Chains A and B, each alone.
Chain A
């Protein structure tokens, strides 16, 4: 009997001390996956790598134009993003471009997590080249994200290791433009130093198909852009190594590297009335993955734009909206065919509201009563104006009439989204055959192309005093469309104005170039407050038109310097004030906010 008691007591003791069992109460996996698993299988790691860059926003989408002086949105009087923008109905918390502060860092964390942990990879069915490519991808997108931060916020936090979950963030410091630019260039140099093996599908190649995937050319573009932005008035701080000369050097290297690998401006004339000229043909030219014809595109965005519908003409069946309407200011930028600006670039308007143009006295071709004749060929490929032919194959079959009461007539009905607000429609990227019946044959946006590199180089060269070279590169872009070269002997100031005007014309409706440029150059006080349109009245008796410029009123306060940079999210600033405050008083903490917010 005694034995049995002992057994019982032993068994009971075992029950009581059982927590010593090592995995006690450990739940079964139930589908919860631990991040450490990612390094155990090729498929897992490659899936993780494929998420890197997933959130990268190249900002090449179309609607940014209406946030600058390129266009007025057709939905400018009903509540929404544009309405808020034009009426400054926002604050740091609701600012229209600050939505991605968190998103960018979310990607940066994934990248840091990958780069610091990839040494844990335990599978072997991966080639060294592929592993190297994974690194390149991570470094490249890190550079891209920091470029976006630098551009939008003028600051950022560089981190290469993920923060611990119990981090208190008290020692975190903001990095300035120079530090970020250095970091970007360091990351890109790492990418460019990678093994170059054109035969492997995994290396960071020059010959990567130009649409969709990162390549060495684009790394050079990003490097050149970074240097140019960092040298621009908005971002340059006294003592920074990013002087115009330094930017010029980097841009020069970039252009040379691109030339060395066969990049050149697109120069094929359109066949069969496909387009008006080489410029708009380029923008309609289909995805040329092999770069056999299109040697200009460095990185394309891939998807077709639906211009015919989302930014279409009322005469097109299936038009959903006319989207954004080119401003009179943009139209005024197109020179006449002889190479003379229409307005005096120094002081284009005599009044603040842009209603009285200050015509260039040297221009003898421009006729205010027939304003759309004899203009830069890019004008005809970019804008539908009053009387523009709808179809290149048969110009007289249908014309776009934007006069009051015309078939595409200007409208000021606040809720109408089909008719132009300004008297113009966007033509760039729109193939005239695109329609409900023929399908979408519109063009694709480009993230980077050689012409940009020329104009970037030209700008840096001009600012650094290499005037001749600046003029030459600008002229390359002009010559491609048949415009005369810039006249020789321009002063630096004159040349600067010509180059800036050239950027505006060449990159109309492309990405965020204009939006960024006016901020980089700190000229929003001249550009953001007023935009105008052209109301054209037809006199039926004489069959003539009268042209009346009109203003959209003030886009409130847009000239204020606070709009140069995006505000940081309000919460973020308050949290960091508190986290970095040495005392209980949050006002002692570092103020991370941008000026004016």
Chain B
């Protein structure tokens, strides 16, 4: 309450002040004209000229020219362009005839301003580990989700597209900075957009940003830099800044993209019906059952009397189209700058819709998105300026029926499974033209089968998994989503107090809502009652109803914030400081019922950061964060997060200055403490949750709950050789002594609180370490040829030191012995365990039992897993008790969180052509690929390349290569998590390729454009991996999901 009052007071004061503020005096105008050029004399387009007093700016034209008017009594102009050293030119020099300003290239980008959420800092001054990517790179990725555009592009930011489900926009990509930081839940970095936190549902809005609206995406990795953000910083921060208008003529950009998205990188290839039937029969025989398909049926499938289907390709569209139109206009005067963006995006349907008797068109997957964003910066008087941002999004999305709310994702997931498991032997999914039941016409009605197999030939599918039925009789859902963001900031130029001092106060509001309208229809189902016969009968009750339901949700959040900045150069001494404060309330989406979820989350972050540098050579940076959250009790609610950083730019020392070999070398190190906020899955986990009607003790709170502290050390160096080859490396080590852990691992029940209600405690310990390395080469070789290439890798390795795990008895040979003393402690977070296959013990080294005699002779009891058949895995009885059970499972080396990441980029610009490519990969990463698939027993049988090397008695006798277990009609002892179905997820992807051509100026001039650029882009073009099947992408690692899409795109970009 009190903070709100204070802010109101401040705002009132300011309002009163505005009305009395006097207008600025007119002043002398100096007009400057000339060009900005590179070392080869090429004009630099879009270089920024800023006057000393920062009131006047100019952006150069395509021919590098400027026509700059200085009105603010400045004495010099600073010229900046990324990749070049800043150049300071005195006005006198220009007026003396040196109007062509030549910039010197800088492979280290040391003068580039790096976004640190609450301040910007020259890259040379950074003492922590920060990496970033600029708008230009983001534009290369053809996507309708902004997030995808920086996947794999930023050193230190790991990502995986865990699910490419078309309904998931913000949740499907897994992000990670330096691995896991705690044994407790999540390690997802906090996302800040223009200094305002975006979280959960907020994510929808930035998803639809066009990459052209974005200035940069920055990743802050080290604890000392993150210390400023207190509770926000524990898992690292991703900060996005958007572009704002700049002084100059209005600049209009029109961009149009047309893309094709396809899953065919892993496109399912089914067997023919005949092959499928043989495999199905083989499964039956393996299980000692009689074959499903008799000789006659096999004959019919073989000679084509009965059709063979490929339902996957029949119902799933090969390409989904994507169109995107983007318009923006930006510009402004010294007093007002503006930028308006508009985007319309449309995606086409995902499925081929059967035309028969369709009474409505539902187009699942097709959607329209509208995005409007505008911002305005205005100078109100000589020391006050105000900035406003307004963004709005609107989405209409078509989905399958019965998709209420979060089920949209589930229904799409069902559909991809349904088209995949619909066996090729299924004769028809619907009744043929003219079919009748008791005189009633049922042509094209969906067919279902109870026991999907009927004497060999199959009609229909199990109930409710018939894709035809879903697409023609399943109803439809329309989802409407809206989102609004607005913020207003008042900036104060306090130079009159002391030069270099500034302040800002602001307020932001974000809010949005969802509405789903779900039309569900029910229909009567039919089934064939005789194989190969057109006799049909009703299946289940008679249905003919139309249902309608709707769902709403909403969320909003607002923030107050303020900061004081100070920045000044005193000769060789440079000082930069920021003090900031931020109060935030977030009301999350109401996910039906969850009572405390709808209580606003409230948090505050305060911090001071001060940097001093001497001659740009010695840098010291100190941070003190002070933050608090209502997730913690009063006595632990606010806490300090200090950090300190040191830097030494060795090449600025006299003995190395201006040598041509080692052009840049900086050593840096930092140590700090960051904190994690959402440590418990319980809201208000420090409070008892007692029901006053019965005084049930309910959930108990831990009154000493505190945030988790990540104490991190970071050391690194940045160097450049020959001003073209740069290298950057960091190592880090993190430690946590107060990790939040589930106390019930050691708390006994006799203390009286039921364990489900027992709170966790801050008693866990955790460690994490790793490194990031990158090499970049960038050189303008000739006037028309620039070449760049780079590669990086980053690695993290954590260890759960203590979570109160009970040590297990490892006295092998006794009945209660376990294979390991610990399964969590001493291992990385997320480690899982499975059975070891006994390759050495098996006769031909294939890890399988090859005959019943071998099973009888092995002397180990498998009964707790099931009945062993020849062709099942032979497991190692690790505990030596003669019984194979869960206690024999051992931990895997790697978990589903990758430890090593790579990326590499390569490109060149040759005249008007520009070509670039991005590779991204991960390793030290395991995926359990799912059990039901690899044994092939799902539904009516599911067989793919996983089963090519399966065990059969015949293949064994012929000495063929056997790697997999025998097929089965049901779950077997081979189904448990083991080394066969947990696979190495290592992959390398050709993530992105762009070939672009910029039209000659004389052509663009004809349409009054400054710049016309045409690009061909491709995303996820090829994957090299170790997956045992081509159907699964290692990013998802699971068959029943939507695999990451390959995208082809044509992009046209015109700037006027």
Contact = CB atoms under 8 A, between A and B. Distances in A.
Interface of A: 4-5, 7-8, 11-12, 14-16, 18-19, 21, 23-28, 30-35, 37-38, 44, 47-48, 51, 101-102, 105-110, 112-113, 157, 162-163, 165-169, 569, 571-572, 574-579, 584-587
Interface in B510-545: none
A572 B626 contact: no
Contact of B749 (A28, A101, A586): A101
20 contacts: A8-B14, A15-B562, A15-B581, A16-B562, A21-B2, A25-B602, A25-B603, A34-B687, A35-B690, A37-B692, A48-B695, A51-B696, A106-B697, A165-B703, A165-B759, A571-B749, A572-B749, A575-B806, A576-B748, A579-B748
A170 to B, nearest CB: 10
Contacts of B17: 4
B751 interface: yes
B596 A24 contact: no
B654 interface: no
B752 A105 contact: yes
B750 interface: yes
Interface in B729-782: 745-755, 758-759, 761
A21 B3 contact: yes
A18 B694 contact: no
Nearest to B562: A15
Interface stretch (B5-13, B710-718, B925-933, B1040-1048): B5-13
B629 interface: yes
A27 B637 CA distance: 12
B547 to A, nearest CB: 34
A162 B750 CA distance: 11
A5 B630 contact: no
B704 interface: yes
B691 to A, nearest CB: 7
Contacts of A584: 807
A302 B852 CA distance: 62
Contact of B704 (A38, A113, A166): A166
Nearest to A581: B807
Given A25-B630, A30-B596, A51 B691 contact: no
A11 B11 CA distance: 10
A157 B750 contact: yes
A585 B821 CA distance: 10
A221 B358 CA distance: 78
B498 to A, nearest CB: 11
Most chain A CB within a 10 A radius of its CB, from B9, B626, B703, B748:
B748
B699 to A, nearest CB: 9
B849 interface: no
Nearest to A7: B13
B628 A19 contact: yes
Contacts of B13: 4, 7-8, 11
A15 B3 contact: yes
A106 B752 contact: yes
A578 B637 contact: no
Contact of B3 (A8, A18, A157, A574): A18
Nearest to B20: A4
Given A109-B753, A578-B807, A47 B694 contact: yes
Contacts of A101: 749-750
B388 interface: no
A5 B492 CA distance: 11
Contacts of A5: 494, 497
B688 interface: yes
Contact of A18 (B2, B494, B687): B2
B843 interface: no
Contact of A16 (B492, B606, B703, B747): B606
Contacts of A157: 750
Interface SS, A side: helix
A11 B630 CA distance: 24
Given A12-B562, A108-B752, A110-B752, A27 B684 contact: yes
B564 interface: yes
A19 B637 CA distance: 10
B499 to A, nearest CB: 14
A105 B494 contact: no
Contacts of A165: 700-704, 758-759, 761
Contacts of A575: 745-748, 806
A597 B703 CA distance: 38
A109 B751 contact: yes
Contacts of B606: 16, 19
B579 interface: yes
B692 A44 contact: yes
B638 interface: yes
A102 B697 contact: no
A24 B633 CA distance: 11
Given A4-B17, A19-B606, 20 more contacts: A8-B492, A12-B503, A12-B562, A18-B6, A25-B628, A25-B630, A26-B634, A30-B596, A33-B690, A35-B695, A37-B690, A44-B692, A102-B755, A109-B697, A109-B752, A110-B752, A165-B702, A166-B761, A575-B746, A579-B748
Interface of B: 1-3, 6-7, 9-10, 13-14, 17, 492, 494, 497, 503, 505, 562, 564, 579, 581, 595-596, 599, 602-604, 606, 626, 628-630, 634, 637-638, 684, 687-697, 700-704, 745-755, 758-759, 761, 806-809
Contact of A110 (B629, B684, B697, B748): B697
Nearest to B4: A18
A166 B581 CA distance: 34
Most chain B CB within a 10 A radius of its CB, from A16, A28, A31, A163:
A16
A15 B696 CA distance: 41
Contact of B751 (A12, A28, A163): A163
Nearest to A54: B694
B599 A30 contact: yes
Contact of B629 (A25, A33, A167, A169): A25
Contact of B754 (A102, A169, A578): A102
Contact of A167 (B689, B700, B751): B751
Contacts of A4: 13, 17
B687 A19 contact: no
Most chain A CB within a 10 A radius of its CB, from B9, B562, B690, B751:
B751
A27 B750 contact: no
Nearest to B606: A16
A11 B10 contact: yes
A169 B602 CA distance: 35
A576 B751 CA distance: 12
Contacts of B494: 5
Nearest to B804: A578
A321 to B, nearest CB: 32
Nearest to A109: B752
A31 B595 contact: yes
Most chain A CB within a 10 A radius of its CB, from B690, B752, B808:
B752
Nearest to B628: A25
What 9 A-B pairs have minimum CB-CB distances, sorted nearest first? A109-B752, A102-B749, A48-B695, A21-B2, A11-B10, A163-B751, A25-B630, A33-B690, A105-B750
B689 A32 contact: yes
A588 B950 CA distance: 48
Nearest to B811: A587
Given A11-B6, A12-B503, A32 B579 contact: no
A16 B697 contact: no
B630 to A, nearest CB: 4
A586 B695 CA distance: 37
Contacts of B604: 19, 24-25
B228 to A, nearest CB: 14
Contacts of B628: 19, 24-25
A486 B602 CA distance: 80
A585 B751 CA distance: 24
A30 B700 CA distance: 16
Contacts of A33: 688-692
A24 B627 CA distance: 12
A578 B599 contact: no
A50 to B, nearest CB: 8
